[in-house]
Every structure is written in C-alpha cells, then in structure tokens.
Structure 1
Amino acid sequence: MTSLASVTLEVADPAAAHRFYTTAFGLDDRIRLQASQAPTTGFRGFTLSLVTSRPADVDALVDAAVGAGATTLKPATRSLWGYGGVLQAPDGTIWQVASSSKKDTAPATGRFDEIVLLLGVEEVKASKRFYADRGLAVAKSFGSKYVEFATGTGSVKLALYKRRALAKVAGVSPDGTGSHRLVIGGDAGPFTDPDGFAWTTASRTASV
C-alpha cells in the first residue's frame, strides 16, 4: 500500500526549529527539517495535527508549545467533535492539537497518538482522484469536503480539505502566496500534486 512516510518542513533556521519541535512536541523523524529561504506569505495551504487520547494531553502539548515560542491562533476549547486548539510554530507552520474526547479518563501523559497532514486543496474530488491514481487507498470520503487516506502503522496520516475551509478551521485568512515550505516523503513520489504540494521518495528527505 502506498503511504506517506515523513513530512519535511522547509524553515529559515533548522537548528531553532529543531529545538522548538523537540521541546514542544518531542517529535521523531516523521517530521524533518531542511533550510529554505523560499518566499512565502500568508496561509501556506496546510496544517499538521497532533491527535491525543484526552483533553489533558491537548493542554499539556499546547502549554509546552506556547512555552517554547508558539503563538496561539485558537485557544483549546470544547466543541461538537471534541476538544482542541490551534497554534503557529515560530517557523510559521500551523498545528492543530486535538482529542475526540471531551473528558479526561486518566492523567495527562504529554504524548500524542498520531500525526495528520491536512492539505488544503481547491478541488477535493480532483485531488482525491489524483492521489488514488498514484496508489493511495481512500479510507474515508465525504464528497467534495474531506478525504482521508489509509496509511501504514506509524506513518503520518494524509487528508484533504477545502483550502478555504481549512484556513477557517485554523483561524487565518485563506490568502497566501509563494512556497508551501513543505515536502512530503513517501513511496509514491516524486511528483507535484495539482495544488503544488511536492512529494519525493522518503529516502531523499533531509533531517536535522
């Protein structure tokens, strides 16, 4: 099964970004970093999500990220779907931290269960076909609104969402220009999708 193995964030200062992600989230090599000065403004068209088991872990991760220098875009709060908030890392990447649970059943661990890469696309159905043609299996699909692909154990989960809707969820304007500052590593690449997101083979992604 074709899968997404890693995500590389292109950042101005890899050493500083590495310190942030280690301190805030304790991320492993599924999130990698490489230096880039590619011009970019506004919304970069994607978010990364940390999915946790309980609200207490959302709070622990949010507090650690803010303490390490992240900016709060949406404070963590309860909603119809669970509990979560939105942050922007010092390098500009937008992170959602969320739990489907609204109540704590155990103390916070400060850990997350999975990472989800949400790509904001103009045409969800067209992008769904594009990725399906490259061997990614659809796990969930809600018409022209949302698509989630099946991934292997330990992989980063990939999903598609309308760009404007994703920006609204993140609490930012959908406007943005220039580089996505993102390279996706997997066994389906190399290619560039209809919205300009670049894929490469996982072995070619760089890490800090």
Structure 2
Amino acid sequence: MKTGKGAAPVKEVLAFLAKAYPGARILLDHRNPYELLVATVLAAQCTDERVNSVTPALFRSWPDPAAFAKASQGELEHAVRSTGFYRNKAKAVRDLSAALVERHQGHVPQTMEELTALPGVGRKTASILLGACFGVPALPVDTHVGRVAFRLGLTAAKDPTRIEEDLAREIPRGKWWEFATRLGWHGRQVCVARKPRCPECGLTTVCPKRGV
C-alpha cells in the first residue's frame, strides 16, 4: 500500500527522531536473547514495568529453556500471574522453551523464518529479537509505531504486516531498527493515542494529521 500524498518527509522524520530520542531502546530488561524472548511474550497486554518486576525472580528460578520446559504449568502460572492472562502466558513460555530445546539446542535462532516458526512468536516479537539482540535490520510494529506512522502519512494501513511493508519501502533498510524504536518512544511520550501533544511535537509542521 502506497503512502498518501502529503506524507511527512522521511528525512525530516529521521532527523527529528535521532535528535529527540538518541538513546531509545527496548524497555524490557534482559541479559540475553532468551530472556528478551520470554519477556516479550509476557509483555502482551501488560506494561513493560510490570514485566520487569516479574522477570528477575522468574529467571532465578528457571534460568534457561531447558528449565522452563521442565517447569510445571502451575508453577509458571503462579510466577507470571501479575502480568495478566497468566495461564496462556505460562503455556506459551513452556511450549516455546520446549521448541527451542528440541529444534535449536536451547539457543534462540537468528532468522525471521525460524523465529516465527516457534510457538506463539509472531513477526513483531521476532523483529524485536532480530533488532535488539542480533543487529539484523527489523521493523517491529506495535500500536505506537502503527499509530504514529499513520498520523505522519507513512502508511494508510491498519494491519501490522501491511504497515511494516509500507515502512520498509519508505525507510532506508539500515535505519529500520532505530526508526521503529524511536518512533515507538515518540508514540509513548508525545504522539499518544487519545490526545496527541502536538504543541510539544517537533514534527508539527510536516505532520499531515496533526491533532488527529
């Protein structure tokens, strides 16, 4: 899907984001790719802060995929209960961990195809792993990225996969990860969902949907 006329100039957007959010990063605490993978699963419909409060004890009890795969459903449910949807999340983590042990000797794979073949891992989660841990160009599209990209006229799509395709055409490949991470921060801090803080935004002059 092509972007509409009047889209914000990509060079100006990239320059603004680089200046405004030079230290933008994933907010889920992790020490290795596996911890980030588990944390991302737990973050579904839950705040990063809540997940970060749960994972230290979680990884002390079960430090690797083999340990998680052997944990009981009940134990994991209790451990992740405060993140919400704890039954589904506990099962997802167990299934995911078992698949890593069986298919990848307990290591997190480094390709989109292998990651999305794991139980419960979609393109957004895979993209987060690829960009944050493996330095692979990736464009994770969460609600913040999708909302701000739409307001800037960089996409007219609503489906995350279509949004990713649109952005991949507009943004230089080598800047995908930093763009998505910084745009997400902008969406959390300024271009918020209910009432965007346009007077605080450095993109107001080029935003075709300011105030929307």
Q: Into which bin does the TM-score normalised by the smaller protein fall?
A: under 0.3
Which structure shows the bigger proportion of residues in strand conformation?
A: 1
Scaled by the length of structure 1, what TM-score is found? 0.25
Scaled by the length of structure 2, what TM-score is found? 0.25
Which structure shows the bigger proportion of residues in helix conformation?
A: 2
